[in-house]
Structure 1
Amino acid sequence: MNRIIAIITFLCLCMGMKAQQETGSWTLTPRVGINSSNMSVEDLWTDLDHAVGAKRKWGFVGGLDAEYHAWQQIGISVGAYYSNEGYTYGTVDNLGKVTQTLHFINIPVLVNFYIEPNILPGLALKAGVQLGYLVSGKYKDNVNSLTNTSDFKRVNVSIPAGISYCYRNFVADLRYNIGLMNMCNVELAVEDSWKTNSLWLTVGYQFEL
């Protein structure tokens, strides 16, 4: 049994060393996945005594990262992503399901720290900064459907932080984006600080350049 464990450990270490990218190399990783997003907006008042809070909305996210492997355990990446975000109030009386959709183009710049290349190959922690541009916004319920992009500011800045795992060039990535900017562009809004937050889960395939 001890020999079997030793052989398995040796093979894992060999795979790990092989899986690591050489210092100075580049990789390109297209990704697709889902996100869960919300925004710190004001409650929706259905009458004088009852308000409905915003709930998380599910959407699509897709794009790619280009990563430069500066050192054995450090990589620096820049990406471009489309993300369908927003929030919902669920079912609200005669309005039915109320949904606010926000279409973003996001550019994240991340530092990726590979925890222990020879023991946990492909496992990385990441953090950085992300610039977002709001392409359009759309409000929809059972009665109304309208474009309301002007209710929101166009530029957003957020802090992404997460973890990823790469196995045989397949990459699973989980990251949380904390919005820093007030996206509110409505003068009479009750809540004057609308900040985004979104959780991304993506899968991708890593190509060596």
Structure 2
Amino acid sequence: MKKLAYLAAALVMPWTAAAQNSRGRLTLTPRIGMTVSDFACCPIHDQYGPKAGFIAGADLEYSLSRTFSLSAGLFYSMQGARENAVMLTTFTQTPDQETIYTGPAGSTLRIVTGKNAHIDFDRDTSPGYFYLTSPRIHLSYISVPVTVQAHVWKGLALRLGAQWDHLASAHMKAKQETKINGTVRFGDYDRNIRKEFHKDAVAIPIGVSYNYKNIELDARYLWGVTKIADTNDPDDKEVMNSTFAITLGYRFHL
């Protein structure tokens, strides 16, 4: 009987030790990766499309038990969308750079939306024009996710929580073609549009991660639940973020 008791104790002790070691464990996981983002809930569904971006940061994780843990992170994430539109401004007098986007006096502004949007016009006979193509909306956020992880299998964990995003910058960038005083120039257009977006947003991160020898691959969908556009435009004021992020990290035990 004593031998049987010793054997049972020997079998149980490693599991008990593992449970004790895992509970209260603190880890730090720096991560770097990419995002694929788009806008959701827009009345004009074809107006926007997905664009790629960059994400970097770290998660601090505390083990509540062998199965559950709680983490808080700090990230820099690039979100936004590709805008399926082109814009042509033709004018008869030379505009300045401050008014050229909205259209100077004596100008005609045309905007065409759609996945294959383009505008045909005679570049040779036009006295002057400003043509924007391939516009992209770049939103840079400082993000703080707080999530609960369920470790469902060896190295595999599911993630659910809430994320606060603070807008660091917002730019509309595009390819630019301009004809002024008979001279045609090509370049990049960059316009600060931070005033057109709310400073803060909230998202729900839903994800899965796999850890092997402290190397962790993490995939999350960031489901935006708050409106991000600070505008009266009925086509844009319902817009929310929709972002998929995939990162590679290394886990340090503290």
**What is the TM-score when the length of structure 2 is the normalising length?**
0.67
Aligned equivalent of 1:87, options 57, 74, 81 = 81
Q: Check conservation: 1:162, 1:175, Cα contact below 8 A.
A: yes
Query: Residues of 1 paired with 2:232 and 2:138: CA distance?
Result: 20
Structure 2 unaligned blocks of 5 or more: 1-13, 87-117, 119-130, 177-188
Q: Is the 8 A contact 1:21 1:69 kept in 2?
A: no
Q: 1:96 aligns with which of 109, 130, 133?
A: 133
Instruction: Work out whether residues 62 and 71 of structure 2, in 8 Å CA contact, stay in contact via their aligned partners in 1.
Output: yes
2:56 counterpart (48, 57, 62): 62
Residue equivalent to 2:158: 125
- Structure 1: tracts of 5 or more residues without a match: 1-13, 44-50
Distance 1:177 1:128 in 2: 10
Alignment match, 2:193: 148
The aligned counterpart of 1:112 is 149
Runs of 4+ in 1 over 3 A off after TM superposition: none
Corresponding residue number in structure 1 for 2:69: 75
Aligned length: 182
Return the offset for 1:71: 0.5
Q: Which one-letter code corresponds to 1:141 in the other structure?
A: A
RMSD, matched Cα: 2.1
Contact 2:151 2:158 in 1 (8 A): yes
Contact residue 228 and residue 239 of structure 2 kept, 8 A: yes
Paired residues of 2:59 and 2:72 also in contact (CA < 8 A): yes
In our comparison, the structure showing a higher alpha carbon Rg is: 2
**Code of the aligned partner of 1:152:** F
Corresponding residue for residue 30 of structure 2: 30
Q: CA deviation at 1:142?
A: 2.1
Q: Percent identical across equivalent pairs? A: 30
- Partner Cα distance (1:80, 1:168) in 2: 23
Structure 1 residues 61 and 208 mapped into 2: Cα distance closer, same or farther (>3 Å)? same
Per-residue deviation, residues 77-119 of structure 1 (Å, max 9, x unmatched) = 000000011100257324221100000010000000000xxxx
Native 8 Å contact 2:49 2:83 kept in 1? yes
Instruction: Name which of structure 1's ranges 160-169 and 144-153 shifts more when overlaid on structure 2.
Output: 144-153
Q: Could you say if the C-alpha distance between residues 109 and 25 of structure 1 is closer, same or farther in structure 2, counting changes exceeding 3 Å?
A: same
Deviation at 1:191, TM superposition (A): 3.4
Q: Is the 8 A contact 2:36 2:51 kept in 1?
A: yes
After superposition, what is the alpha-carbon deviation per residue over 1:108-146, rounded to whole angstroms, capped at 9, x for unaligned?
A: 00000000xxxx311000100000000110001223421
